[in-house]
Amino acid sequence: MSILQLLTKTLPFIFFRIAVYGIFALVSFIFLGIMLGVSIFLFNMFEFAAGFFIFIILLSFFSVLAGLRFLERYVLYMVKVGHISVLTELLRNGEVPDGKGQLSYGKEQVVNHFGSANVCFVVDKLVYRAVRQIQRWLFRIGNYFSFMPGAKNIMAIVSRVMNISLRYIDEAVLSYIMLRKKEGEEETVWKSACDGVVMYAQGWKKVLTTAAGLVVFIYILNITVFLVTVFPLMALGSAVADNNEAASFLGFLAVVAAYVITTAVKRALIDPICTVAMIRSYQINIRDMEPSIDLQQKLLNVSSKFKEMFKKSKEKETPSKSVKEADVSDPPPST
């Protein structure tokens, strides 16, 4: 099934994300507008409040970022994992069961596979950290060729590609865990997660090829959205400003507003496309592949997080019990 077909068949998830991020962007603009008004009022009332004015603007901006983090952790995380579940089913059977909405079906499958969203969240975070350590190890191997002309520039590009792909690899491994559950395999989510990470390391070159295309796609769309929004907003600011200082300030606000819009578009539209592409590439790449025991031993030596996952996979307890002992303080970076 092609990327376009997968996107078309999972439009409810994408539409939901567009609606949520659209509302978030609107609320953010209203909030920033109110705080800007308060700042201007204080600045006009008290001449010494210039520093406080800047403080309020910066506080408002970082409050928006904190709100985005909260939204993605507590509102959209289940939607994202539900999307992964439906994508896994589509890649496996070509369709989802009739009579069920995709959003409710995805949520139901997450609970069936992991027991709760919290278990899925902890597994996701630990997979992310393990893959990050493994990618650093792979990158250090590439540094042995740094003596070659132009090698540093190439490795810098490869490093950037690997960093961006890291945001989607954990989702691909989650899809493998769900696939194993759908196939009726009697193993803990930690065992499936370990095998999924090992198979990523086995076929990382092919996955990296997909990631390289995603990097180009992300940069082109981000730059396009930013430029399409920032110039009209700056023109509007210049039109309403009555002096150069006001025009400069409104120009700065136009850049902030364009950044918020670009972030919302990326999260709502670009990230689901990248998720679909990466999961599809990963699932195709690991088809008929068996985890390498030798590579597993190497990963145990280079990644403390992978070793932690491996130990959990050997425990004689349920996944939900072992997950209570894991650190859940910080979510994995969103896509």
Q: What DSSP letter does each residue of 143-198 carry, written as one string?
A: GGGTTSTTHHHHHHHHHHHHHHHHHHHHHHHHHHHHHHHHTT----HHHHHHHHHH
Asked, for residue 329, whether it belongs to a domain, the answer is no
CA distance 87 to 280: 8
- Does the pLDDT at position 26 exceed 60? yes
CA distance 241 to 250: 8
Q: Which among 156, 169, 74, 181 is positioned nearest to 127, based on CA atoms?
A: 169
- Does the pLDDT at position 36 exceed 60? yes
For 51-65, 222-236, 267-281, which range has the lowest pLDDT when averaged over its residues? Answer: 51-65
HSE-CB for 262 with a 13 A CA cutoff = 19
Looking at residues 163-170, what average pLDDT do you find? 79
Asked, for residue 335, whether it belongs to a domain, the answer is no
Cα torsion for 296, 297, 299, 305, to the nearest 10°? 100
Asked, for residue 115, whether it belongs to a domain, the answer is yes
Looking at residues 301-314, what average pLDDT do you find? 88
Asked, for residue 77, whether it belongs to a domain, the answer is yes
- Residue 149 structural domain: 3-323
Asked, for residue 331, whether it belongs to a domain, the answer is no
∠ Cα 18 75 1 (to 5°): 55
Q: Which among 184, 182, 9, 177 is positioned nearest to 94, based on CA atoms?
A: 9
Looking at residues 37-53, what average pLDDT do you find? 67
Looking at residues 64-90, what average pLDDT do you find? 83
Model pLDDT for residues 222-244, shown as the tens digit of each residue: 999 999 999 998 888 888 777 77
- Does the pLDDT at position 330 exceed 60? no
Asked, for residue 122, whether it belongs to a domain, the answer is yes
Which pLDDT score, from 0 to 100, does residue 319 have? 45
Looking at residues 246-271, what average pLDDT do you find? 85
Asked, for residue 333, whether it belongs to a domain, the answer is no
- Does the pLDDT at position 49 exceed 80? no
CA distance 298 to 228: 47
Taking phi first (over 0 means left), then psi (-120 to 50 degrees means alpha), and beta for anything else, what does residue 99 get? left
- Does the pLDDT at position 40 exceed 80? no
Model pLDDT for residues 100-119, shown as the tens digit of each residue: 677 777 777 777 777 666 77
Q: Count structural domains, the chain.
A: 1
Which pLDDT score, from 0 to 100, does residue 147 have? 60
- C-alpha distances in Å from residue 241, one per residue of 194, 248, 276: 58, 9, 44
- The single residue listed with the structure tokens 């939901």 is 16
pTM of the entire predicted model: 0.79
- Does the pLDDT at position 328 exceed 80? no
Asked, for residue 334, whether it belongs to a domain, the answer is no
